[in-house]
Amino acid sequence: MTQAVAIIGTGQTECGKRDDVSYPELIHEAVRRAFEASGLEAEDIEAVVSGSMPPAMEGVANPHLYWVDAMGAANKPLIRTATCGSTGMSLAHTCFYHVASGLFDLVMVIGAEKMYEGDPQGTMATVADPFFQRPFLAGAPGIFSLQSNEWAHRYGLEEKRVRMAAAQLSVRNHNDALLNPYAHIKVKTTVEDVLASRVIAYPVRMLDVCPGSDGACALIMASEKMVKKLGIKTPAWVRGIGYCGEEAFFGEGDKVVWQSAINAAKGAYKQAGISNPRKELDVAEVYNPFTFQEMLFYECFGFCDFGKACELVEQEVVMKGGDLPCDPSGGTLCTNPIGATGLQRTAEIVLQVTKKAGERQIPGAKTGLAHAMGGLDQFNGVMIISNTLQ
Amino acid sequence: MEQEVAIVDAVQTRHGSALKENIREIMFSTVRQLLNRVGIEKSEIGTMVSSSSDYWQGISCSNSYYYDAAGANLKSGSKAAEDSALGFHYGAMRILSGHYKTVLVTSITKCSEAPPVDTLTHLATDPFFQRPVGLNETISTALQAKAYLHRFELNEEDLAGVPIKNLANAQNNPNAHRKGVLSLDDVLASPTMASPLREIDVPNTSDGACAILLATKEVAKDLTKRPVFVQGLGWNVSETFLGDRDLLNGSLPKAAKMAYKMANIEKPLDDIDVAEICDTTSFNEILWTEQLGFCAPGKGTDLLKDGITSMGGALPVNPSGGLFGANPYVARGLIRIAEIALQLKGEGEKRQVPDAKRGLAHSVHGLGGQLHSVVVLGV
């Protein structure tokens, strides 16, 4: 049995250093808001899905069992999904399959992270295998700066031009985050500020890189018959999903013409019947922990030809008012509670296509793409969401 | 559920206390063996769902380390963490959605490379209330067992038959690495670990892996002469804090109810021919058999003593030897399912239950049995 799936409620917490709440309290904040947005209560939910980054991030080995009461999950089926940085998108997919399978009609999914409680870069270094990669891996920026340099080198892109495009994306994200009540980093910045900020791992500078945040995000998904039964007026329909993983070792795959990113998008486009994403998508939330990497995704997702992503920035295609505005939420660049991040991308697209995005609303947005990436440049997941079922 | 999902085949490692190969090597050889047995190439696999634990593997985002070794390079995949039976449920849902015709479900744990169970389960407690008092899996279970013995006016000797039965059964399982003949005196001579549990009541951990190929009914019939159908799926979680629950009436009856409803089972003892249960301790096998509805509350020890759960009984429990035979922590749930598939295919060899047509596989993780899973399979 297979059935169509809609997202009927989103709940996000304010993100940042949330030392005003415990981990379960943070979860509850997102859950409560998802209930308020959908008019449902915990008793209505048939099953729950939850996840986060490696539990070593917060130091509790089974976070899903720790969060049970905060999620209202007691006496319900519960599965923990965790796939590194792509956790949020994998969570959305796990929840999708619960409903699409026909086993459930109303399922809640929660992703969260409380990164100020641990040592995020230390934890992320333990994602690498203990024999070959871990001895020289310095947290996340190392991997992504290698990828950025490889990309610029492959296409012979001039250093000055790449840095300028990245700086423009940084400014765009920081400006957008000012309009997002849930965003973490809220600072007004300029291209000159970005270009002058200190180097973290060349070419990535301080204002090219995301923070680690405390935050949680919850979504409620429903079957078509449940949408009708509940009389939901503005459902956001899941039109396509795609996910792809690749080799464990960073050096074994091409990270520029990046097959897992290409496959994830292709799979989702095929299900959604999208042949020209640049034209058919109205908005995209591209997972952008690093400004440079966002441009690489534009190419892998077919927004432009390979090697041409800088043009999308220069011609303001991906800016507000352009053909395909990206990351109106301010993106991962400004808010990154990792286990929730992919769900936040999804929630933002839901809000955009249902015209609930407030000050940051993209006019006329009907169909959007949400994305997350994880592992040592290993996993990519995509979801296409639309305000219509067909 | 109309038997839309089937197990094509299943493969396990020869489990051990410390396997020599590393996690990638074990995962690769287990999946390779499964594909060879079925006679298909990895290109024919639709998607892969795996199950592992970051803490138990000592590698964060544990699935990233073996993803390609499990045959999933450039494929879609995901992870259901901490209990591989949940990976099985997720794999089945991927087929039921109509998105995939074949799903590889895999799991691995090398406990020999991880700290002891009670160190890791202590880290699973909340940091404010439970951790300061030193709670862990063994202590939680001891509290539960004390409550049980008290409520039903039983004593420790009533629990002693479980390791005797299961270690004897394990002698017939070539994949088990602990097996033997024990007497009642041997059990009662075992030193106390956390009263009323003795050292012998708590199965030690193991290294091991398991891989199962799921497929739609049609594809399964093409790939094997003996498909085993998924008739019922159920899983359920209890509250976080032990004190908020009735430790003797938790989430297992709810998980069982969900699976039984799907499988149209009304009288489990009559309707099920064989069961593989996560005997996390001697006592737990008894409690879980009650909560699965095989008998009334407090009557689990009678079920054991009357031989109903022994080989040759009306409902043999753990012909494989259960966790007493091998306990690769996260992989053990999938191994229970693989064992039932083996029984229903009639390939149980020395541990075969004659004429087994329908079987139940149970799994659990979390303190005091917090998250339970029930799978009903049939032919």
Query: How would DSSP label each residue in A192-234?
Result: HHHHHSPEEETTEEGGGB----EEEEEEEEEEHHHHHHHT-SS
C-alpha dihedral, B20 to B22 to B24 to B30, nearest 10°: 20
Q: What is the pLDDT of residues B96-135, one digit of tens each?
A: 999 999 999 999 999 999 999 999 999 999 999 999 999 9
**Strand pairing class (A5-12; A236-245):** antiparallel
Q: Strand (E) positions, B61-122?
A: 76-79, 102-110
Cα-Cα-Cα-Cα dihedral sign, residues B120, B126, B132, B133 = negative
Over the range A289-302, which residues count as b (16 or more CB within 10 Å of their CB) and which as e? Answer: bbbbbbbbbbbbbb
User: Looking at residue A138, what is its pLDDT?
Assistant: 66
Q: What's the DSSP call for residue B353? A: P
Per the CB < 8 Å rule, is A245 touching B81?
Answer: no
- Beta-ladder partners of B215: B6, B102
Q: Which residues of B touch A59 (CB under 8 A)?
A: 123, 127
Does the distance separating the beta carbons of A79 and B90 come in below 8 Å?
Answer: yes
Mean pLDDT of B1-6: 79
With an 8 Å Cβ cutoff, are B61 and A245 in contact? Answer: no
Helix-strand-coil split of chain A, %, nearest 5: 45, 20, 40
- Predicted confidence at residue A101, as pLDDT, reads 97
Strands B192-194 and B197-198, by their bridges, are antiparallel
Distances (CA, A) of A40 to A365, B221, B311: 26, 43, 49
Residue B161 lies in a domain: no
Taking the C-alpha atoms of residue A156 and residue B15, their distance in angstroms, rounded to an integer, is: 53
Q: Do A1 and B58 touch (CB under 8 A)?
A: no
Would the CB atoms of B76 and A260 count as touching at under 8 Å? no
Q: Is the pLDDT of residue B95 over 90?
A: yes
How many angstroms separate the CA of residue B160 from the nearest CA in chain A?
A: 31
Name A175's Cβ contacts closer than 8 Å, sequence gap at least 6. A188
The CATH number covering residue B62 comes to 3.40.47.10
B272-330 confidence digits (pLDDT tens): 999 999 999 999 999 999 999 999 999 999 999 999 999 999 999 999 999 999 999 99
CA distances from B157 to A390, B283, B293, B295 (A): 65, 11, 23, 20
Q: Given the DSSP bridges, would you call strands B358-365 and B274-276 parallel, antiparallel or unpaired?
A: parallel
- Give the chain B residue whose CA is nearest to the CA of A339: B61
- Among B78, B106, B233, B363, pick the best mutation site for testing chain A contact (most A Cβ within 10 A): B78
Specify the DSSP class assigned to residue B265.
Answer: -
Q: Which residues of A touch B123 (CB under 8 A)?
A: 59-61
With residues binned 3-state (H G I as helix, E B as strand, rest as coil), the percentages for chain B, rounded to 5, are 40, 20, 40
Answer for the pair B322, B277: CB distance below 8 angstroms, yes or no: yes
For the domain A5-120+212-230, what is the CATH superfamily, name and number? Thiolase/Chalcone synthase (3.40.47.10)
**How many Cβ atoms sit within 10 Å of the Cβ of residue A43?**
8
Chain A residue numbers with beta carbons less than 8 Å from the beta carbon of B66 are 248
Which of B63, B64, B372 to mutate to test binding with chain A, by most A CBs within 10 Å of its CB? B64
B308 found inside a domain: no
- DSSP letters along A300-361, please? HTTSS-TT-HHHHHHTTTTSTTSSS-B-TT-HHHH---HHHHHHHHHHHHHHHHTT--GGGP
Tell which wins on pLDDT, B153 or A250: B153
- Which amino acid is residue A224, in one-letter code? E
**Structure confidence at residue A139 (pLDDT):** 73
Contact check, Cβ <8 Å, B59/A130: yes
- Partners of A54 on chain B (C-beta within 8 Å) are 54, 60-61
Which member of B72, B97, B236 has the closest CB to residue A2?
B97
- Print the domain residue range for B106: 5-115+205-223
What is the three-state SS of A252-304?
A: HCCCCCCHHHHHHHHHHHHHHCCCCHHHHCCEEECCCCEHHHHHHHHHHCCCC
> What's phi and psi for B126, nearest 5 deg?
-70, 150
Can you give the pTM of this predicted structure? 0.98
Measured distance CA(A157)–CA(B130) in Å, rounded: 56
Query: By mean pLDDT, which of A123-132, A340-349, B6-15, B52-61 is the weakest?
Result: A123-132
The reply to whether B355 falls in a domain is no
What sign results for the dihedral spanned by CA atoms A95, A96, A98, A103? positive
Nearest chain A residue (CA) to B54? A54
Q: What is the pLDDT of residue B2?
A: 60
Mean of all residue pLDDT scores within chain B: 97
**What whole-number distance in Å separates Cα of residue B334 and Cα of residue B13?**
12
Nearest CB to A93; choose among B78, B92, B367: B78
Answer yes or no: is the ipTM higher than 0.95. yes
Of A51, A73, A126, the CB nearest to B237: A73
Q: Which of B60, B63, B81 sits opposite A80 (nearest CB)?
A: B81
Joined tokens for residue B251: 């989430």
Q: Do A81 and B81 touch (CB under 8 A)?
A: yes
Q: State both tokens at B369.
A: 């049995």
Please report the pLDDT score of residue A183 as a whole number.
98
Comparing CB atoms, the residue among B55, B64, B73 nearest residue A127 is B64
Question: Residue B125's closest chain A neighbor by CA?
Answer: A60
CA distance B225 to chain A (A): 24
Q: Distance (Å) from the C-alpha of residue A208 to the closest C-alpha of chain B?
A: 25
Return the amino acid letter for A386. S
CA of A339, closest CA in chain B: separation in Å?
11
Cα of A60 to nearest chain B Cα, Å: 5
Instruction: Indicate the pLDDT class of residue B85, thresholds 50, 70 and 90.
Output: very high
Q: Where are the alpha helices (DSSP H) in chain B?
A: 23-38, 54-57, 63-66, 84-96, 117-122, 137-151, 161-170, 184-189, 217-223, 252-263, 268-271, 282-291, 300-305, 322-325, 332-345
Alpha-carbon distance of A296 to A214, in angstroms, equals: 27
Nearest Cα of chain A lies from the Cα of B121 at a distance, in angstroms, of: 7
Asked if residues A265 and A277 have their Cβ atoms less than 8 Å apart, the reply is yes
| Residue-wise burial string across A112-128, b where 16 or more C-beta atoms lie within 10 A, e elsewhere | bbbbebbebeebbbbbb
- Encoded tokens for B167: 């270690």
Q: Do A59 and B123 touch (CB under 8 A)?
A: yes
pLDDT at A136: 77
Does A2 sit within 8 Å of B96, measured CB to CB? yes
User: B16 near B177, Cβ under 8 Å?
Assistant: yes
- The domain tally of chain B equals 1
For A99, which residue in chain B has the nearest alpha carbon? B97
Are residues A55 and B251, on separate chains, in Cβ contact within 8 Å?
no
What is the helix (H) or strand (E) element at residue B51, kind and residue range?
Answer: strand B47-51
Return the number of CB contacts < 8 Å for A and B: 197
Q: Under an 8 A CB cutoff, do B68 and A247 touch?
A: yes
Which residues are CB-contacts of B301 (< 8 A; sequence separation ≥ 6)? B154, B158, B159, B161, B286
Instruction: Express each pLDDT in B225-244 by its tens digit.
Output: 999 999 999 999 999 999 99
Q: How far, CA to CA in Å, does B303 sit from each of A66, B158, B187, B263, B289?
A: 34, 11, 19, 23, 9
| CB–CB contact A61 B126 (8 Å) | no
Q: Do the Cβ atoms of A60 and B58 come within 8 Å?
A: no
Question: Which tokens belong to B218?
Answer: 């049609």
Angle at which helix B161-170 crosses helix B282-291, to 10 degrees, equals 100
In 3-state terms, what secondary structure has residue B8? strand
Cβ B366–A101 below 8 Å, yes or no? no
CA distance A144 to A35: 37
Residue A126: its chain B contacts at CB < 8 A?
A: 58-60
Does A203 sit behind a cis peptide bond, omega within 30 degrees of 0 on the bond before it? Answer: yes
Question: Do B94 and A97 lie within an 8 Å CB cutoff?
Answer: yes
> Which residues in chain A have their CB less than 8 angstroms from residue B99's CB?
2, 97, 100
Contact A375 B81 (CB under 8 A): no
Convert the pLDDT of each residue in A289-316 to its tens digit. Answer: 999 999 999 999 999 999 999 999 999 9
Is residue B339 situated within a structural domain? no
User: Quick one: tokens of B329?
Assistant: 């922590």
Q: Give the residue ranges of chain A where pLDDT is below 70.
A: 1, 138
**Quick count: other Cβ atoms within 10 Å of Cβ B24?**
17
Kindly state whether residue B213 falls inside one of the protein's structural domains.
yes
In a domain, B67, yes or no: yes
Token representation of residue B28:
């690769």
CA atoms within 13 A of residue A192's CA, in its CB half-sphere: 0
Three-state secondary-structure class, residue A131: coil
In a domain, B179, yes or no: no
Q: What is the pLDDT of residues A19-55, one digit of tens each?
A: 999 999 999 999 999 999 999 999 999 999 999 999 9
Check B94 against A101: CB less than 8 A apart. Answer: yes
Task: In whole angstroms, give the CA distance from residue B215 to residue B10.
Answer: 12
Domain boundaries, chain A: 5-120+212-230
The angle, 0 to 180 degrees and rounded to 10, between the axes of the packed helices A87-100 and A338-353 is 60
Place of tokens 């596989």: B361
Report strand pairing: A379-386 vs A367-374.
antiparallel
**Candidates B55, B73, B78; nearest CB to A55:** B55
Crossing angle of helices A259-272 and A291-300, in 10° steps, is 50
- CA B41 vs. chain centroid, Å, equals 28
